[in-house]
Amino acid sequence: MLSAFIASRRSLCALVVFTAVTLSAHAQFTLVQISVDKFKNSDSDHRTEVEPDIFAWGNTIVATYHVARRPGTIGWGSAAIGFSTSTDGGKTGTYGYLPDLTVNYKGGSYYGAADPSVAYDAKHGVWLISSLALINPIGDVVVSRSTDGIHWGNPVLVDGTHNDDKNWTVCDNTSTSPFYGNCYTEWDAATSTGDVEMSTSSDGGLTWGPAKTTADFAGGLGGQPVVQPNGTVIVPFSESYAGVGAFRSTNGGASWSSSVTVALVDNHSEGGGLRSLPLPSAEIDGAGKVYVVWQDCRFRTGCAENDIVMSTSTDGNTWSSPARIPIDPKNSTVDHFIPGIGVDPKTSGATAHLTLIYYYYPISNCNSNCQLDVGFTTSQDGGNTWTAGVQLAGPMQLSWLPISDLGPMVADYIAVSYSNSNPFGVFAAAKAPSGSLLNEAMYTTKQPLLAADNAPRFSSKGELPVPNAKSDHPLKAFYDDEGRFPTPESKLPPRDQK
């Protein structure tokens, strides 16, 4: 996909040839850097970029991410939101920053921004990047619009209550759907009720409807809505770190159902204090089957390491029991976390193509000497079997990363998207600092994340969780992703649902 387009700001909207960079990539894959932090504001750690999302439509691929992370001691988020766009299926590309959003770039009014996600509205021909525009006590949800993924307009307000966190946007792109052209944005009211809320646009993101809660006023964060071909919207979300839940709408966002618990979460606490939240990543196949993954230690003795586990549903109400993705053997020392899943929308069911990227420690019990890597695995049979994990980037030292309120940070989420059946992932990776500047940026691979046809496949069929598996640290649930607003017990899913 994209590139190391380290260009001047004068040429941010000019396409450039991608160039490779060296960051210990696996021999089969060449890493390419797709952006750089060029800001010089005094309240950020430079050069840093974290937390990407990616979406592809036809030959156009758009990634978005934080630029210039602000230390937790100073405040939330980052100096700006960046984008990297290819219009030729990843051969060439460009990068830039969203204008008129923050005080750090082209006339914005917000002091910072965070939590970007990208979507495409096929009916209206518009790309949307939603972000959290920061203002006390947390922020507002906004969307920036573009017809080409390169030139972006002023942000449009979705919710201006100043209470919001962890937004995500998706659009209904099935032409036969009764709600074709609707776009849906999710967030949570972190500093007030903690409720997960939804808003709908039917005009390409120009205007947005009022915030609506679920029928049971579900609390949580980190929802990632997906849309089935029949127009049903299904929203997997984190039940405040304690579990994974889901709710849906069958009437184009006019109302939202009560939530159901997909599963409770047992999460191993990563060594070195790395920021690593057990938030779900969700995608959907061509027939409307939903795949949700998250980090979980239920299959490991003593919950000493996390695996990535997956649950699926065809209706958003009934979900399969979490299954371990067999990236490594159950008795390995590898700790897996911060997953991002992609599904080829041209495939479905037993032949659905899935690609998963994730961060990992080769040795979980690493304390202050942790080695951080990026890996991937893929399935061509709907998740029944998977290839062995392959290293894409690393090793990285945690001292090379910016510091958030919850520790050194690369992301709360990462992502994969398919362009013409070719999967590309986007992720933050770091090299050794240069003087007082860090050296963390956004990367992808020159080659799509495809495994050889004869690559061995592995199954976890028949594996059962370890009896009485339990997280190795006390549950601390929050309405926000910085750990500042605790969740009351009344908003947590009951533990007897496990």
The pLDDT, as a whole number, for residue 494 is: 65
Say if 493 falls within a structural domain. Answer: no
| Banded pLDDT at 385 (limits 50, 70, 90) | very high
pLDDT band for position 23 (cuts 50, 70, 90) = low
Q: What is the pLDDT of residues 453-473, one digit of tens each?
A: 899 999 999 999 998 777 766
> CA–CA separation, 68 vs 369, rounded Å?
25
Q: What is the DSSP string of 403-439?
A: EETTEE-S-S--EEEEETTEEEEEEEEE---BTTB--
Residue 497 lies in a domain: no
Residue 59's domain is classified under what CATH number? 2.120.10.10
Q: How many domains does the chain have?
A: 1
Percent of the chain with pLDDT over 90: 81
Residue 359 belongs to a domain: yes
What is the rounded CA–CA span in Å between residue 313 and residue 318?
6
Query: What are the DSSP calls for 226-249, one per residue?
Result: EE-TTS-EEEEEESTTSEEEEEEE
Q: What is the pLDDT of residues 9-19, one digit of tens each?
A: 333 443 333 34
Kindly state the average pLDDT of the residues 23-47. 87
Q: What count of Cα atoms within 13 Å lies in the side-chain half-sphere of residue 194?
A: 23
Answer for the pair 83, 64: CB distance below 8 angstroms, yes or no.
yes
> Would you place residue 345 in the very low, low, confident or very high pLDDT band (cuts 50, 70, 90)?
very high
Mean pLDDT of the chain, nearest integer: 91
Q: Is the pTM of this model over 0.85?
A: yes
Q: How far apart are CA 81 and CA 76, in angstroms?
A: 13
Q: Which residue has the tokens 């390419």?
A: 32
Which sign does the torsion angle of CA 414, 401, 167, 479 carry? positive
Asked, for residue 490, whether it belongs to a domain, the answer is: no
Residue 498 within any structural domain of the chain: no
pLDDT at 492 over 70: no
What are 397-454's pLDDT values in tens digits? 999 999 998 899 999 999 999 999 999 999 999 999 988 899 999 999 999 999 988 9
Cα–Cα distances in angstroms (integers) from residue 141 to residues 156, 275, 454, 485, in the given order: 9, 23, 46, 18
Tokens 């605790």 sit on residue: 486
pLDDT digits (tens, 9 = 90+) for 354-374: 999 999 999 999 987 999 999
Does 1 fall in a domain?
no
Encode pLDDT of 311-340 as tens digits.
999 999 999 999 999 999 999 999 999 999
In a domain, 70, yes or no: yes
DSSP 8-state secondary structure symbol assigned to residue 68: E
Among residues 473, 476, 496, 497, the alpha carbon closest in space to that of 304 is found at 473
Q: Torsion over CA of 284, 286, 289 and 290, rounded to 10 degrees? A: 0
What is the pLDDT averaged over residues 85-97? 95
Structural domain contains residue 171: yes
Which structural domain, as residue segments, surrounds residue 173?
Answer: 9-483
